Structure 1
Amino acid sequence: MESWEPLKVLILGAGKGGTALIDLLARGAGVEVCGVADKNPRAPGLRLARSLNIPTATNVADLMAKDGAHLIVDVTGDATMPSQIAAMHASNVETMSGRAARLLWTLVQEEQELRAQLMQADKLATLGTFAAQIAHDLKNPLYCIREFAQFIEEELDPSRIKEYSREILKADTYLTSIVEGLTAYTRSSCSEPESVRLADLLDQAVKMARFATVSNEVEILREYQPVPSIHADPAELLQVFVNLITNAVQAMKGQGRVTLMIRSEADKILVSIKDTGPGIPATSLSKIFTPFFTTKERGAGTGLGLSIVKTLVNKYGGDIAVESEEGKGSIFMIRFPVPSPVN
């Protein structure tokens, strides 16, 4: 069987266009982004490249001096860049710039917009499965607020009025936490990644996943070791964790144990989500990350959830694997690269 060398691409320009290209090409099979250059050291594409352990430079000449690239994509918008490239690169290296690069950027942007729409649709579909439990959780504090408000109308003792007011404030705080959690989850992804703590996002995802079933008898075990923060869009990683924990809770029908683990593993950060559910049939394991494939009943899922999870994990240089045994449960393991230090 003939093996193919990956296409090695050098990206010049790490602004909006370069960032979009890195995002797409870093996920592509058979493509290796071997370097990114931009004269602005704070360019968003340079931060994304470092998080993926892709070599970066603020001097184009420094990056192009390294051998190995098959294709140079210039999205700097600098009219003098083509002549600079021609003077520096070897004759066997192809170049894409000008209108051709703008066309590629346009296609990449359209792909990003479509992917964002699919991800948002999956979020809303997940919220749809939460609807019954959300309504139940809203009903009780609203009832308390109404009852204590009526008590206040009829009460003359100032100390009792203060007591009732405190109960109303407690119910209001609880309602606010529900609304803020839903708002954070449905918020569209931001364009600027930031430093995020994986443990915080896992805990936030647990709060969301409790709406996945009317039964609330799931035990959550946390095994968190100190690990570095990673540079990512928190809304996207929250979607990853909500999806996986929700699947676990629903598979166990609200009864069982979910173990969340974070630890360092060589040059990786491992995040695992393990459940004691019925497990995944062996015939389905190889297909669960395929778009529109689902083991749930008709109407219970879009079939996009795990496909989106894999896409988002890959976006940040990670990989995801699953192990499962019928009757004993499943474990999803995500490995992110340890972020490179930024000078």
Structure 2
Amino acid sequence: MAKYKLMLKEGKYDSIGIELSNLDNADKVSSMSEYNESMEDLRQEYDLQTLELENSIRDNENKEKIITCIIISLIITFTLSILLYIQNKKLKRYREKWRVMQISAEIALRNKSTILSNMSHEIKTPLNALIGFSDIISESNDLDDNAMQECNDIIKLNSSLLQNLINDVIDMSRLNINNLRINLKSCDIIDICRKTINTLQQIKQTDADILFESDIKRLIIKTDPARIQQVLINLLVNATKFCKQGSIILKVEREGDMVYVSVSDNGTGIPLDKQHLVFDRFEKVDEDTHGTGLGLSICKLIVTELKGKIWVDPAYTEGARFIFTLPIVN
């Protein structure tokens, strides 16, 4: 049987036939029986191998399904991780925006409190002066011309202070909404400076001389003359607060296509570590001086809107010197 089984496995069917034909009847019956048994064994072995093959195919299919499921799970996990990362970044941005808004709201509240406190203090002084000297003029009949002129000068000065305070608050509100009105037109910067000096000399509260210096007789530029005068008045009035003796000098120079305007004094000066802060809103070098702390920040806003720059000269050590530039556009 082993012989026929081996020949069947090897596919030697002709050899099996020849061998069977050469046997006698008795041997044929025996050989056929062996042959049939070999065929049955081979059939069973074939069925077993077929079953094993089918099981192996099913196992492979199951493995493929498992691998596919794992890959899909990984893809889903990776996708969810990316989405979660994006959402976390968005959430972080929203939190940062909220934090910035919260800080801005807190700053706005502090600024509101500061301006109300400053304004209540600053308005009280000139308002009391206006009321007091107005009462003196209206109730006194024996005032001589000098006393009357002195009362008028004080009323004029304090009226100007009140007007400047109100203008500062209005400009601050425009600064908050970026809506500062600028009216450009051709004008003589030298004439503007001379007129400003003449105005301040009449109402100054200092013994210091307010002088104007320039080698230029006339310089026409395209700017906002009212705003330039506002900047000059703020700078000069600031100088009078800290310079009670000596001189305050307004100077105009031309350099290329730019005009340089400076206000110098020989007063107390500004410490180097505070020079970069003086243009911040509500910043005051000396808390005991009058003012809202808005003037210099408004100066910076105006000069910036007019395409110029403004700064404190750190090299000037005799007091304080503010310099601003303007483009020369006819």
TM-score normalised to structure 1 length = 0.45
Of the two structures, which has the highest relative contact order with CA contacts closer than 8 Å and spacing of 6 or more? 1
> Which structure shows the higher helix fraction?
2
> Which structure shows the higher strand fraction?
1
